[in-house]
């Protein structure tokens, strides 16, 4: 059981942090950070502050995981700060683990938002007994070209600003995975979008329901055997892959690693996101079914093509919330509120 942080209100102060890659502070990307910050202020009515090292740049951030951990602690320990938003992911958050004060975090529950390499921070907070939120980052979704996608914007409002029951998670009408360089020349260019095909059921039947727990496949692999590796029993798992678009062969390897580490043990089912840009989608689905069957899990319900992770727009998945997926109707629902 995890604690639900207090919901956000207009006028609240949120802190931005660089817990993995420090590109938000690099001279060629500072404009992008400022765009995301301005959207948080104007679209959601939030006051945005940076922690001491948020904008110190990628070189310093890379060299000092202890300073990233200090920023996390100071953001959670400051009663004026109501939420902590990740600037971006990366591949380096795991190096914070020796410096984490779980008791400090546990005493100060508040919203944390991010995805991809932020999986590490989500599992840190889960160990501390706090629900956190797998969703948009400052540099990517909040600073998206032209505007935040309306679907993503509505999910921020629905999950973080309201303590009412979340309810149905409708699929977006369209999606995009187009990768456009983050240059000021591109800031007013729209990405190519495609019709969203809706959720799929890869195997299983009936209803899968349980506490949501999961993250990014490649990052979860880094967490195996560490102090933050959780017990996944009785959970409704969620899983997505990064923009690295791992080969089908490596996807098989990573699944086997998760299987051996207990990721699928006694789980209630699996929610699998659309792979980045849809690359290897069919191959991943085939390998997933084959691997589960090899381990006697051919009847484990698996839903795919869901809108979280590295494509846009995206919903928000609260860790520890009760997820409910009906394989007959292909409808996904979040039971209860995401925040208190």
Chain mean pLDDT for the chain: 98
Q: What's the confidence (pLDDT) of residue 226?
A: 98
Q: What's the confidence (pLDDT) of residue 103?
A: 98
pLDDT at 182 over 90: yes
For residue 234, what are the CA distances in angstroms to 80, 127, 190, 193, 212? Answer: 36, 16, 42, 36, 10
Q: What's the confidence (pLDDT) of residue 95?
A: 98
Q: Containing H/E element for 318? A: strand 317-318
pLDDT digits (tens, 9 = 90+) for 286-323: 999 999 999 999 999 999 999 999 999 999 999 999 99
At 211 the three-state DSSP class reads strand
- With CA atoms as reference, report the closest residue to 32 among 114, 143, 113, 137: 143
Mean pLDDT of 174-200: 96
pLDDT at 1 over 90: no
Length, in residues, of the chain:
340
Number of C-beta neighbours around residue 338 at 10 A: 27
Q: What's the confidence (pLDDT) of residue 59?
A: 98
State the Cα–Cα distance between residues 310 and 100, nearest whole angstrom.
Answer: 27
Task: For Cα atoms 90, 95, 98, give the angle at the middle one, nearest 5 degrees.
Answer: 150
CB 135 within 8 A of CB 115: yes
Q: What's the confidence (pLDDT) of residue 228?
A: 98
313 cis-preceded (ω within 30 degrees of 0) = yes
pLDDT digits (tens, 9 = 90+) for 114-131: 999 999 999 999 999 999
Mean pLDDT of 90-99: 97
Domains and CATH numbers, the chain: 13-164 (3.40.50.10740), 174-335 (3.50.30.60)
State the Cα–Cα distance between residues 140 and 122, nearest whole angstrom.
Answer: 18
Q: What's the confidence (pLDDT) of residue 119?
A: 98
CB 36 within 8 A of CB 143: yes
Q: What's the confidence (pLDDT) of residue 82?
A: 98
pLDDT at 158 over 90: yes
pLDDT at 253 over 90: yes
Q: Containing H/E element for 266? A: none
Strands (E), 217-299: 235-240, 269-273
Mean pLDDT of 129-157: 98
Q: What's the confidence (pLDDT) of residue 159?
A: 98
């Amino acid at each position: 059981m995890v604690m639900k942080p207090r919901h956000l209100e207009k006028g609240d102060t949120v802190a931005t942090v660089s817990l993995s890659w420090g590109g938000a502070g690099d001279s060629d990307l500072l404009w992008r950070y400022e765009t995301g910050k301005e959207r948080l202020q104007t679209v959601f009515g939030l006051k945005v502050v940076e922690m001491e090292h948020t904008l110190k740049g990628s070189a310093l951030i890379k060299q000092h995981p202890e300073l990233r951990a200090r920023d996390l602690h100071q953001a959670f320990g400051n009663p004026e700060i109501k939420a902590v938003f990740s600037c971006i992911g990366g591949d380096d958050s795991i190096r914070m683990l020796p410096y984490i004060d779980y008791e400090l975090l546990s005493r100060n529950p508040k919203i944390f938002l991010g995805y991809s390499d932020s999986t590490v921070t989500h599992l840190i907070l889960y160990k501390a007994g706090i629900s956190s939120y797998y969703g948009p980052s400052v540099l990517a979704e909040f600073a998206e070209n032209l505007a935040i996608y309306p679907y993503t914007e509505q999910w921020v409002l629905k999950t973080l600003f309201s303590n009412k029951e979340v309810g149905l998670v409708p699929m977006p009408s369209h999606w995009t995975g187009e990768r456009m360089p983050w240059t000021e020349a591109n800031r007013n260019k729209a990405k190519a979008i495609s019709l969203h095909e809706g959720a799929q059921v890869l195997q299983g039947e009936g209803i899968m329901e349980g506490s949501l727990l999961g993250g990014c496949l490649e990052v979860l692999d880094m967490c195996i055997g560490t102090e933050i590796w959780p017990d996944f029993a009785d959970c409704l798992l969620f899983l997505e892959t990064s923009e690295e678009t791992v080969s089908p062969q490596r996807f098989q390897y990573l699944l086997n690693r998760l299987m051996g580490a207990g990721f699928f043990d006694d789980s209630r089912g699996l929610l699998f996101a659309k792979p980045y840009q849809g690359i290897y989608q069919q191959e991943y689905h085939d390998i997933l079914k084959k691997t589960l069957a090899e381990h006697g899990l051919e009847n484990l319900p698996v839903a795919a093509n869901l809108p979280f992770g590295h494509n846009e727009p995206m919903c928000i998945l609260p860790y520890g919330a009760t997820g409910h997926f009906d394989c007959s109707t292909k409808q996904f629902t979040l039971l209860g509120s995401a925040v208190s």
